[in-house]
Amino acid sequence: MFFHNLKYAFITMLKNKMGLIWCLLFPIALGTFMFLAFGNIYDAEMVFHKIPVVIVADKPNENLNLVLNNLAKGDDALLEIKDMSEEKALKALEDAKIEAIIYENDEISMKIKDSGYKTTIVKSILDEYNKKEAIVNATLQTNPGEVQKVLEILMGDKDYFTSKKTTDGNMNPLNYYFFAIFSMSCLFASFTSCEKTNSIQANAGPLGLRRSLTPSSKTSLVLAEFTAMVLVQFIAECLTLVYFLILGIEISKIPAILLILLIGSVIGVSLGIVVGSVFNCSDNMKQTICIVISMALAVLSDLCVNGIINMIEHSAPILNRINPAVLISNSFYALNVYDNYSKYFSNLATLTAMAVVLLTISILSLRRNKYASV
């Protein structure tokens, strides 16, 4: 009987166009828009590229030019020196084609459009030149015997620290938006499951009434519906995952990801069942409650604005520990960035516990309902 119910529940789910749109097409559409909008922002803005500058020399400074040309050479060049007149350079600066114009005159100066990391780097290069020159001149006057030693130190390019990185994984923070889409779509499963709950409850409509009169076990019926909803949601998540991989979003450790998506689907479906069975109000109101809860949890997991999770982590970290949307997104993040599975497993354990709690509440609220009359 269970498999019979499962088969027809599955077919019913596949024919539910709105459910499929929310759990499959909407995440794909949203992911596509994000991909188009974000594009290669990480590469363009965060990854370092040579800083384009123009030098306008009324009184050329040969030493400075030597330094700047050296900084523009090689694979790890800091600058890209462009050759153009001052007028064209000013236009290029307005159009953000270059970052700064360096003026070589009696004094070195620069003109920029906006303050930022790149203009700060250019300024620090010019400041460094001036300062090193001043140090050498001061040493010549105070302690000329040490000038050679001072010059060697100033001209050296050794680092005074050891550079370390925390991971070889993908550190692009914009990928988090795509992870948040998965957590949102998992929670959107609550819309369909809330609606389906009405088809089980006798006091919610004629279909629920008819099903309550059947001789088949209610447990079998509820389990079949639940399994079908989780299965359909999980398949939709897998298809979304495949689509994102085709787009080129870096997502690794797929088997572990699939486990998270399965548990996320269980949580989404359970949430809808809890709302559908616990709240005694109209269908529209129940749907609204599902939307409000899902959207609120998704927004708090950096879906719309970056930095909310970080802000909550510093002020009220417990909220991040119990928000299923954050736990799902963080699991993706942990798998893509961390070298070990400790954070992933701790998130998985919390999500599993949540799923068990929600399922328990759903079962307790649905079982053994009695009605005065039908």
CB of 50 to other proteins, least distance (A): 11
CB of 276 to other proteins, least distance (A): 16
- Nearer of residues 254 and 311 to other proteins, judged by Cβ: 311
What is the C-alpha to C-alpha distance for residues 89 and 83, in angstroms, rounded to an integer?
9
CA distances from 374 to 211, 279, 294, 371 (A): 12, 20, 34, 7
Tokens of 158: 């050794």
CB of 372 to other proteins, least distance (A): 31
CB of 367 to other proteins, least distance (A): 29
CB of 273 to other proteins, least distance (A): 19
- Nearer of residues 153 and 356 to other proteins, judged by Cβ: 153
- Nearer of residues 108 and 209 to other proteins, judged by Cβ: 108
Centre a 10 Å sphere on the Cβ of residue 86 and count the other Cβ atoms it contains: 13
Own/partner pairs for 319-323, CB < 8 Å, 24+ apart?
Answer: 321/350, 322/350, 322/354, 323/297
- Nearer of residues 121 and 239 to other proteins, judged by Cβ: 121
Tokens of 371: 């009605």
CB of 136 to other proteins, least distance (A): 9
Q: Going by C-beta distance under 8 Å and a sequence separation of 6 or more, which residues neighbour residue 95?
A: none
CB of 18 to other proteins, least distance (A): 4
- Nearer of residues 23 and 230 to other proteins, judged by Cβ: 23
Strands 51-57 vs 100-104: parallel, antiparallel or unpaired: parallel
- Nearer of residues 48 and 345 to other proteins, judged by Cβ: 48
- Nearer of residues 53 and 266 to other proteins, judged by Cβ: 53
What is the C-alpha to C-alpha distance for residues 200 and 207, in angstroms, rounded to an integer?
7
Cα 49 to the center of its chain, rounded Å: 23
Residue 118 contacts residue 51 (beta carbons within 8 Å): yes
What is the C-alpha to C-alpha distance for residues 206 and 201, in angstroms, rounded to an integer?
9
